A and B are shown apart, each in its own frame.
Chain A
């Protein structure tokens, strides 16, 4: 009798522990609206891609996927919301490389992306584009590389802020080329362009959407893109890797994350739905408008990619002495 009660207690405790997860059955999932947390303010790429994806997922799975902006602290606040959410598949996160850069760069990042989150799929890739001041004599990437090597310590490069992908790409370039270029951070990459036109800043790695208005009429010069293959937004430009800096690969990827304890069947179901959503012709077209190409990976591949990116950028941040007291 007492034993039975004790066992009942143990079972109850176990049920309570695994409760939230066990109730979320993969067969019935999703049976209520799903939150898709976007850790940035409306109007940016993550916001647009998130909304497009949310709409497609709603069509795939028959429940509304509601995009919700949770901006703040460079994406840390929104990411933490999902890291702490119930692992039932009803809270998703769409995030860019800042999710793995912030833990190295910032103090007191509340989440541990390896322990608290896991990848559903890396949904897209988007290279940066190297733009230079039109006043520079260099007209091609090879010439620019030679110019940067010949003028150590003299060049300035703009970025969208400390620890952003444009900053780290610039740092990586500067180190690989031995250019010792000075980093000039701006609040968002757009603000750097007037100074680049005036040759106060000589180059920058810009997002494609940021650069397009200025490269269309050659007010700044676009020289190369940073992916492993040429970008559809700049089909005529070579990649940095092909044009002289082997292995140079900077990707502004986006990935869908869920809390780490989310049951595998739900992750698998989501992964399938995401794959279908980004394969859709309308999605491809919408992504292309902001210079983003659909990618799509399995959860395992996605986790491996994100872990590798973490190591890569951690090394750049450490070697470049970017983290300041």
Chain B
């Protein structure tokens, strides 16, 4: 189990390293003495790739030593249990917040985001949830608008 997590971790780091290497490919490198903007990121991306390879390599090696003839740990990825539903619901809630807050204001947006977010959990009880959302909406008003007087959009635009 640990082995397969490490395999994925190694791959993740290699992917991040590749991402930064590609995104930074156009940056001028310069030399170690007079560095351009691309030098430090490239060195780091290289280091990250090496570390990723190291993690991956060790995971595979440990697996071979320990597991003998078993299949490659990549196939055991199921052991990294992922239940994507809560994550996806939360991401939707975040995007809704970003889309709405400028237009609908803080009070309504918080209400809606709390409702949407609640569906990340299991067994939603509507009355309780609505009460919580209303409470949170009121609380944010009290804290951010009344107490801290932050310059935030509070009500829908044009009201």
Report how far A68 CA is from B153 CA in the complex, Å.
13
Q: By the criterion CB–CB under 8 Å, are A324 and B151 in contact? A: no
Q: By the criterion CB–CB under 8 Å, are B28 and A325 in contact? A: yes
Main secondary structure on A side of the interface with B: loop
Closest B residue by C-beta to A66: B151
The B125-159 residues at the A interface (CB cut-off 8 A) are 151
Report how far A137 CA is from B71 CA in the complex, Å.
75
Residues of A within 8 A of B28 (CB): 324-325
Residues of B within 8 A of A324 (CB): 28, 36-37
Report how far A66 CA is from B95 CA in the complex, Å.
30
Interface size on B, residues (CB 8 A): 4
Q: Quote the shortest CB–CB distance from B41 to chain A (angstroms).
A: 15
Q: Quote the shortest CB–CB distance from A153 to chain B (angstroms).
A: 14
Report how far A324 CA is from B28 CA in the complex, Å.
9
Residues of B within 8 A of A325 (CB): 28
Report how far A162 CA is from B96 CA in the complex, Å.
38
Residues of B within 8 A of A68 (CB): 151
Report how far A68 CA is from B77 CA in the complex, Å.
51
Q: Quote the shortest CB–CB distance from B155 to chain A (angstroms).
A: 15
The A309-325 residues at the B interface (CB cut-off 8 A) are 324-325
Report A68-88 CB contacts with B as 1/0, cut-off 8 Å.
Answer: 100000000000000000000
Report how far A68 CA is from B37 CA in the complex, Å.
33
Report how far A325 CA is from B28 CA in the complex, Å.
7
Closest B residue by C-beta to A68: B151
Q: Quote the shortest CB–CB distance from B159 to chain A (angstroms).
A: 14
Report how far A324 CA is from B35 CA in the complex, Å.
13
The B34-81 residues at the A interface (CB cut-off 8 A) are 36-37
Report how far A68 CA is from B151 CA in the complex, Å.
8
Q: Quote the shortest CB–CB distance from A181 to chain B (angstroms).
A: 15
Report how far A325 CA is from B29 CA in the complex, Å.
11
Closest B residue by C-beta to A67: B151
Closest A residue by C-beta to B36: A324
Q: Quote the shortest CB–CB distance from A166 to chain B (angstroms).
A: 21
Residues of A within 8 A of B151 (CB): 68
Closest A residue by C-beta to B151: A68
Report B12-34 CB contacts with A as 1/0, cut-off 8 Å.
Answer: 00000000000000001000000
Closest B residue by C-beta to A324: B28
Could you write out 5 A-B pairs with CB less than 8 Å apart? A68-B151, A324-B28, A324-B36, A324-B37, A325-B28
Q: Which residues of B come within 8 Å of A, CB atoms?
A: 28, 36-37, 151
Q: Which residues of A come within 8 Å of B, CB atoms?
A: 68, 324-325
